[in-house]
């Protein structure tokens, strides 16, 4: 089943491309008059670029580009003569040397403009990013760092990638197949290739550990016919043939080389593919819904908890306090708070640095959580201040708890070569007290502990309403 899920990408890619071509601007009628050019016109091709073009065992030019070029030549009244080459680099060299008047199927680029002029696009095809299955989606190549991108030699996209994305390490190989193989075997992280080539190669070669992981805007292939600059009139005649090809004719040629088989009887393979595609869509939807829920849960935690210590922050305290206050009133039990502050914390930051200060905050938070009772809540109140919310706790019980916290902190080795101490204020909200007065009182008690010499606990008296 996993194999079906992987393979649907190729088929879906082809369907998408076909729909894109169907939206190409209307072309001239196939009845465009033929323009006869005397003599033969020599041309070179990429001998190993399936399904676009290749030279087969019989020395024939075959593929999508071959059929389109034949149609263009016929309607332009030309007789084309293939000049065989070993690879694309040989074809480029032959063109630069003037042995080939025409290059069959390529993107225009500033480097190629030096010796070629180009027809209008014969075919428009998107470039996509190909990675292994486990690689994350690639929304933007600029977001990658030091990843290896492999390309066949002599592609126009290489020039642009080197210019636009210097963060990538670009490696060149001799063929499309080698580029896909390097990604499949983890010798490279990704490649950028034509969507048609990617879908066809993944399906035909069985590289089901590869996937289409993204598309970079502005990097589409506008595949044209290149003509030597010295023969611009030849380009103009070829353009007449290019303009005569309709969208239907173009699609028919595509389908002959990367066809999706249609049957009239029950085709269980097709049903399997459709089921796999549906399953993939459902699984993807479930995955993203689950991920969205996890992200929302994480955001909720981040909004109510301190990132450094993991304790609740003041935003997370409000709802908690309302619940405990309501329960205290309902059960007619006292509610106490202990406000603690790390003594001379600025000296720790100034003398040892903020990373050490952060570590001290984390260790104090750990000591408070360890010393707190099951019913207590530990909150990072702000800066170097911490608050203990103690339900069903009298003033005396809260004072004893605070003293234990101070003692545990004095005895803890923070690795500073000196002890770390706490000052604390304690306040209790009795049943007849106004809720807000407890916090004013505990803040005043903490201030008193500081002014009395620190490293101590001071009890507060909650003022009564008049």
Here the CATH number for the domain that contains residue 133 is 3.40.190.10
pLDDT at position 221 over 50: yes
Contact by Cβ (8 Å): 398, 337? yes
- Please check whether residues 224 and 214 belong to one and the same domain: no
Distance CA 171, CA 117 (A): 28
In the predicted structure, residue 386 carries a pLDDT above the cut 60? yes
Three-point CA angle 281, 285, 291, nearest 5°:
145
- Mean residue pLDDT of the chain comes to 83
**Per-residue pLDDT reduced to its tens digit, 276-330:** 777 777 777 776 677 667 655 555 555 678 889 889 888 888 888 888 888 888 8
Q: Are residues 192 and 340 in the same domain?
A: no
pLDDT in tens, 131-179: 998 888 888 888 888 899 999 988 878 888 898 899 999 999 988 889 9
The pLDDT of residue 301? 55
Q: What is the pLDDT of residue 342?
A: 96
Same domain, 67 and 193: no
pLDDT value at position 205? Answer: 75
Claim to verify: residue 146 and residue 212 sit in the same structural domain: yes
Flag whether the pTM goes above 0.85: no
Q: What percent of the chain has pLDDT over 90?
A: 50
The count of other CB atoms within 10 Å of the CB of residue 453 is 9
Q: Is residue 10 in a domain?
A: no
Which of 21-30, 33-42, 368-377, 445-454 shows the lowest per-residue confidence on average (mean pLDDT)? 21-30
Report the pLDDT value the prediction gives residue 256, as an integer from 0 to 100: 86
Pairing of strands 422-429, 457-459: parallel
What would the pLDDT profile of 249-283 be if each residue is shown by its tens digit? 988 898 888 743 333 344 566 677 777 777 777 77
Whether 336 and 196 map to the same domain: the answer is no
Asked if 152 contacts 178 with a C-beta cutoff of 8 angstroms, the reply is: yes
Distances from the Cα of 334 to the Cα of 28, 330, 445, angstroms: 89, 11, 18
Q: 279: domain range?
A: 263-304
Long-range pairs, 176-181, Cβ under 8 A, ≥24 = 176/48, 176/49, 176/50, 176/152, 176/201, 177/48, 177/201, 177/205, 178/150, 178/152, 179/150, 179/151, 179/152, 180/130, 180/205, 180/207, 180/210, 181/207
Using DSSP's 3-state secondary structure scheme, residue 435 falls into coil
First to last CA, the chain: 76
354-371 and 395-411 helices, crossing angle to 10°:
130
Q: Are strands 127-132 and 190-194 parallel, antiparallel or unpaired?
A: antiparallel
- pLDDT higher than 80, residue 35: no
Q: Domain check: are 450 and 344 in the same one?
A: yes
Is residue 248 located within the same domain as residue 189?
no
pLDDT the model gives residue 185: 92
- The predicted structure's pLDDT at residue 454: 95
pLDDT of 307? 84
Residue 82, pLDDT > 70, answer yes
8-state DSSP, 35:
-
Q: Are residues 328 and 418 in the same domain?
A: yes
In the chain, the number of structural domains is: 4
Same domain, 318 and 297: no
Residue 72 lies in a domain: yes
* DSSP state string for 102-167: EEEEE---TTGGGTEEE-S-SEEE-EEEEEETTSPP-S-GGG--S-EEEEETT-HHHHHHHHH-TT
The C-alpha angle 250, 253, 257, rounded to 5 degrees, equals: 140
Q: Flag whether 108 is in a domain.
A: yes
Of 97, 168, 78, 185, the residue nearest 129 (C-alpha): 168
Evaluate whether residue 382 is within a structural domain.
yes
* 287 part of a folded domain: yes
> Is there a single domain that holds both residue 360 and residue 256?
no
Domain at 318, CATH number: 3.30.70.270
- Which residues make Cβ contacts (< 8 Å) with residue 357, sequence separation at least 6? 345, 348, 349
For residues 428-444, average pLDDT: 83
**So what's the pLDDT on residue 6?**
47
DSSP string for 361-411: HHHHHHHHHHHS-TT-EEEEEETTEEEEEEET--HHHHHHHHHHHHHHHHH
Out of 66-80, 189-203, 396-410, pick the least confident: 189-203
Q: Is residue 78 part of a domain?
A: yes
Q: Are residues 233 and 360 in the same domain?
A: no
pLDDT at 18: 39
Domain boundary, last residue among 304, 329, 358: 304
Mean pLDDT of 176-191: 92
Question: Could you give the 3-state DSSP secondary structure of residue 40?
Answer: strand
Cα(9)–Cα(170) distance, rounded to whole angstroms?
25
pLDDT the model gives residue 245 = 92
Determine the pLDDT at residue 303. 66
- Over residues 235-253, the pLDDT tens digits come to 999 999 999 999 899 888 9
With a cut of 90, say whether residue 24 has pLDDT above it: no
d(CA 176, CA 180): 6
């Amino acid at each position: 089943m996993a194999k079906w899920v992987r393979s649907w990408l190729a088929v879906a890619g082809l369907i998408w491309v076909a729909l894109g071509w169907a939206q190409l601007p209307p072309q001239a009628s196939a009845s465009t008059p033929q323009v006869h050019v005397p003599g033969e016109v020599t041309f070179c091709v990429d001998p190993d670029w399936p399904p676009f073009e290749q030279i087969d065992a019989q020395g024939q030019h075959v593929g999508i580009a071959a059929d389109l070029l034949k149609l263009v030549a016929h309607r332009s009244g030309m007789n084309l003569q293939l000049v065989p080459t070993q690879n694309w680099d040989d074809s480029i060299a032959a063109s630069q040397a003037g042995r080939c008047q025409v290059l069959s199927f390529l993107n225009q680029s500033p480097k190629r403009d030096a010796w070629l002029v180009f027809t209008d696009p014969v075919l428009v095809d998107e470039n996509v990013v190909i990675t292994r299955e486990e690689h994350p989606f690639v929304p933007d190549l600029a977001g990658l760092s030091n990843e290896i991108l492999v390309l066949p030699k002599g592609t126009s996209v290489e020039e642009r990638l080197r210019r636009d994305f210097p963060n990538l390490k670009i490696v060149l190989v001799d063929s499309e197949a080698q580029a896909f193989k390097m990604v499949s075997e983890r010798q490279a992280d990704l490649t950028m290739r034509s969507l048609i080539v990617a879908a066809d190669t993944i399906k035909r070669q069985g590289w089901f550990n590869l996937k289409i992981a993204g598309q970079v805007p502005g990097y589409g292939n506008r595949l044209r016919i290149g003509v030597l600059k010295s023969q611009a009139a030849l380009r103009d005649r070829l353009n007449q043939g290019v303009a005569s090809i309709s969208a239907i004719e173009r699609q028919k040629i595509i389908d002959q080389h990367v066809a999706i088989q249609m049957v009239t009887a029950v085709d269980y393979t097709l049903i399997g593919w459709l089921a796999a595609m549906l399953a993939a869509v459902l699984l993807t939807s479930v995955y993203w819904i689950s991920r969205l829920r996890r992200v929302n849960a994480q955001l909720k935690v981040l909004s109510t908890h301190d990132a450094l210590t993991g304790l609740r922050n003041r935003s997370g305290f409000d709802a908690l306090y309302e619940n405990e206050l309501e329960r205290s009133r309902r059960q007619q039990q006292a509610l106490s708070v202990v406000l603690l502050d790390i003594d001379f914390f600025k000296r720790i930051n100034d003398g040892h640095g903020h990373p050490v200060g952060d570590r001290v905050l984390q260790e104090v938070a750990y000591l408070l959580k360890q010393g707190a009772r099951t019913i207590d809540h530990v909150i990072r109140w702000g800066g170097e201040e911490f608050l203990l919310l103690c339900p069903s706790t009298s003033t005396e019980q809260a004072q004893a708890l605070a003293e234990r916290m101070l003692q545990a902190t004095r005895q803890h080795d923070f690795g500073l070569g000196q002890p770390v101490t706490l000052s604390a204020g304690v306040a209790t909200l009795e049943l007849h007290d106004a809720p807000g007065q407890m916090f004013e009182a505990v803040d005043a008690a903490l201030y008193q502990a500081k002014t009395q010499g620190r490293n101590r606990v001071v009890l507060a008296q909650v003022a009564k309403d008049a």
